[in-house]
Structure 1
Amino acid sequence: SDPGPVRGKKWKRGESGSGSPRRCSHCGVQKTPQWRAGPLGAKTLCNACGVRFKSGRLLPEYRPACSPTFSSELHSNNHRKVLEMRKKKELLMMGSGRAEPGLSHPLSSFG
């Protein structure tokens, strides 16, 4: 009738020890296979955003499709489409006589 060895509490993937769920600082996702380092420190980006950040391709328009903040009009999870969206936006801004500063810089959403 011995219940066996007592085990400590296991943390669910995607949760930190503080009791509140961890969120990606770029896209807002809470569940990811691995937390990665970003501009705000260790374990602040989900796997998808962390890989993009490390390669220098994390742009504000990039969102994983599973992100709660994903909108197909504003975001894409495909780098080529993100670049096309940025080019269209840039042309619209030029046509209206307004240029948006910092449009070509990655990570302006962290700013």
Structure 2
Amino acid sequence: MCPERVEIPARRDDASLPLPAYARAGDAGLDLRAAQPLTLEPGERGVVPTGLRLAIPEGHAGLILPRSGLALKHGITVLNAPGLIDAGYRGEIQVLLIN
């Protein structure tokens, strides 16, 4: 259990986009969603926009990690895993994927 809870302000480029959410109680990480559909052919790479901007507090960082289910079932993974989101970055979170 984490001794401190860190609040991370988030802003969506489109209010209809869902905020990151835990899939199940007790999960360690939040699930990100793509802001728009994207098809990657086998071996193809792509940048997936999330429409999400975070204000991570100084001294903290965000990590984008691959999902084992996507890799096992579909061969899709995060190319630069783990993707690092520095505290000072305020642009749109984008995920670099490879199929």
Q: TM-score, normalised by structure 2?
A: 0.24
Return the structure number with greater relative CO, CA threshold 8 A, min gap 6: 2
Structure with the higher helix share, 1 or 2: 1
